[in-house]
A and B are shown apart, each in its own frame.
Chain A
Amino acid sequence: MPWRLEYDSSRIRTPWWTPIVSVALALVLCAIFIYANGMSPVTVYSKMFKGAFGTSYGITETLVKAIPLLLCGLGIAVAYRISVWNIGAEGQLTVGAMAATAVTVYFPNLPGFWSILLMLIFGVAAGAFWGLLTAIPKTHFGVNELITSLMLNYVALLALDYVVFGPWKDPNGFNMPGSPVFTDAQSLPVLGGTRLHIGLIFALVAVVIYYLMIRFTRWGYELRLIGANPTAARYAGIHIKRHIIIVMLISGGLAGLAGMAEVSGVSHKLMQGISPGYGYTAIIVAWLAKLNPLGLVVTSVLFGGLIVGGFSVQTIGLPSSISEMLQGAILFFLIAGDMVTRFRIRRGA
C-alpha cells in the first residue's frame, strides 16, 4: 500500500473547527433524510432558522430555551472535566422544578423576595440531592454513573407525574394535570413584554463563576489535574472520591436551578413535559463547547434555536423531533471528528 492512515496519539487537542464541521455534516446527513422523506431540506432549514432567529419573538424564545441548556450544560461540563458522565440532568432539573413548586404549594403566602429565595434554595438543594444519589453509588459501590443517573431520570419523571396528577393537582384546573398557577410573588421577573426572565442573569453569573473557579482556584486546578491524568492525581494525594461527590452536587444543583427557573420564569406552574429533553440536549451543548465556558454560551444559544426551530417546522407538517435527530447526528460527527483529526495520511508501507 503506497498510502496509509496513521494514528498520532500525540495530537490530543482537536482543531477549533471540528465543532463547526460536525454541525455542517450533521445538517447534510439530516438533509438527506428529509429529502428522502419527500420534503425540501432548504425549505425546512430556512423555516427552522427563521423561526429561531428571524424575528424578535423568535430570538427571545431562543434565549428562553438557552437558559436551562446553559445551566444544565455547565453542570454537565463540570462533571465531564473529571470524566464523570452525568446524563441525569433531565431528572435533576425535574426534581428542582418540583422542589420549587413545593414551596409555592406549602408556603403560598410568602412575600415575593422570600418566596423566590426559598424556591431557589429548594430547587438547587433538590437537584444537588439527586446528583448525590448518582455520586454515592459510584464512589462507594463502583456503580457506573451513566446507568444510575439515567434510571433516576425515569424515577424523577414518574414522581412528577404523581404530583401533577395527584396531591398538587390544581382544583380549579378543569381536571388538567398540573399545579395551581404561581402568583406574581412566586414568579421570576421578566424583561418587559417578553418571556425572557431573570434566569438568564443566573446562568451568565454561573458561567463567570465556573470560569474563575476552574482557572484560578486550587479546586479548579485539582479538577484539571484529575481530568488530565487521574493516576498522577491520585499519587499526588488528591481525594478523587470527594471530587466526584462535589462535582455531582454542583452538576445536580445547577440543573435543579434550571428547573426552578423553568417553573418560576416560564411555565408559572408545574406540569408534565416542563423539559423538552433539556437535560439530554445539554450533554451535546457541553460536548460541542469542549467544556469551555464561552463556548457553552454560544452552543446553548445555538441549540436553543434548534429547539425553537424544531417547533416552527410543525407548521409545515413536520415533527419537532427533527431537532432531536439533528442533535444526535451532531454528536455523532463531533466524536468522529475529534478522532479523525488525530489520523494522518502517510506514504509508504
Chain B
Amino acid sequence: MDFVTQLLIAAITAGTPLLLATLGGILNERAGIIQLGSEGLMLMGAVTTCIVFIRTENLGVALLASVGVTAVLGLVHSFLCITLRANQTMAGLAMTLFGSGFSAYLGKSISGNPLPGILPRLQLDFLKPVPVIGDIFGNLDVLTWLSFVLVIVLHLLIHRTSWGLHLRAVGDSPATADVMGVHVRLIRYGYVTVGAMLIGLAGADMVLTVAPTWNEGLTAGRGWIAVGLVIFARWNPVRALLCAYFFGVLDSLGFRMQLLGSAIPPYFLKMIPYVVTILVLMYLGYRNRNKPSGTPESLGVPYIREQRF
C-alpha cells in the first residue's frame, strides 16, 4: 500500500469517532440545544463499553449498554436544558466534568486491561482487486460502515423529510413550530437523547479500534474537537464527514511523522489538531463575519411558550 492509501485509512480510523460525535452534536444543535458535554459523554460511552465487554465478553451487549447509559445522560441534559431551561453552557460543562470524573471512578478497576476483542470488520473480497478503493473499503469495521449510513440517513432526514423540516423549525424558530402544531419539547428531547447516544457510540468506537483498552481520560479532547467540528461542518452531516476525516488525518499525521523519524518532538506534533481547530474557527469567523453562519437561529435559547420576543 502506498503512503496516500495508508493515510486515508488512518484518516478514516481516527476520523470515525470524530464523525459520530459530530453527527450527534449536529442533531442536538439542529434542535436548538447546545451540546458541550460531548467529551464527558464520549468518556462515559467508552468506559461503559469496556466494563460491559470485559464482564460479558459480548460486544453487542457492550455497545447496547454504552448507548443506553449515554441515552440516560442525554435525558438528564434534556431535562436540565429543555424542562428546567438551565444555562446550556453550564449544563454541558457539568456533563463533561461529571463524565470525566465518573468514568475515571468506574474504570479504575479495569484500567489497562485489554478488551476481549475489537470491532468486527466487513471483509469485502469482491472489492480486493480494485486498486485504492479495495484497500480502503475492503476491510472497514462495522461502526465505520454505520457512520457512512448515518451520514446519508441524517442528510436525507434533515433536508428531505417533513421530520427534518420539523427539526429545523424547532431549532430556528420554536415559537413558529409550536404554532404549526409541532411538539417542540418532545422533538427536542428526542434529538438531544439520540444525539447523546451517537456521541456515546463515538466513545465506544474509540476504545474498540486501535488500542482496545480503557485509560483514564482517553478521549484527550476529541469530544471538544467534535464540538468545533459541528461549527466547521455548518450543522451539515455531509460536511461533517469531510471535516472529521480532515481532522483524522491531522490526528494520525503526528504519529506517522514520528514513525518516519521526524526531527520535530512528538509533543509538538500532538498539538497540531488543537491548534488547527482554533485556527480554522478563526478563519471561518473571519470569512463569515458578514454572512449568516448557518447556526440554528434559536441555538441556546430556551423556549418558553408564554413568553413573547
Contact = CB atoms under 8 A, between A and B. Distances in A.
13 contacts: A144-B231, A146-B36, A146-B227, A147-B278, A154-B221, A154-B271, A165-B267, A283-B93, A324-B105, A325-B98, A335-B87, A335-B90, A336-B86
A249 B25 CA distance: 31
Contacts of B231: 144
A295 interface: no
B74 interface: no
Given A141-B281, A328-B97, 12 more contacts: A146-B89, A148-B278, A151-B277, A162-B265, A280-B97, A283-B93, A319-B104, A321-B108, A324-B101, A335-B80, A336-B80, A343-B84
Given A9-B307, A151-B274, A331 B86 contact: no
Interface of A: 7, 9, 33, 85, 87, 137, 141-144, 146-148, 150-155, 158-159, 161-162, 165-166, 280, 283-284, 287, 319, 321-329, 331-332, 334-336, 338-340, 343
B78 to A, nearest CB: 12
Chain B contact surface mostly = helix
Nearest to A338: B86
Given A154-B221, A335-B86, A340-B84, A321 B282 contact: no
B273 to A, nearest CB: 9
Contacts of A340: 84
Interface residues of B, number: 49
Given A7-B85, A150-B221, A155 B274 contact: yes
A150 B307 CA distance: 35
B270 interface: yes
Contacts of A143: 278, 281-282, 285
Contacts of B104: 319, 321, 324-325
Contacts of A321: 101-102, 104-105, 108, 216
B220 interface: yes
A161 B270 CA distance: 11
A53 to B, nearest CB: 21
Contacts of A326: 101
A116 to B, nearest CB: 29
Contacts of A336: 80, 84, 86
A291 to B, nearest CB: 13
Nearest to A328: B98
B154 to A, nearest CB: 23
B91 A335 contact: yes
A151 B275 CA distance: 7
Given A151-B277, A319-B108, A328-B99, A141 B286 contact: yes
A146 B89 CA distance: 9
Contacts of A144: 231, 281
A337 to B, nearest CB: 9
A155 B271 contact: yes
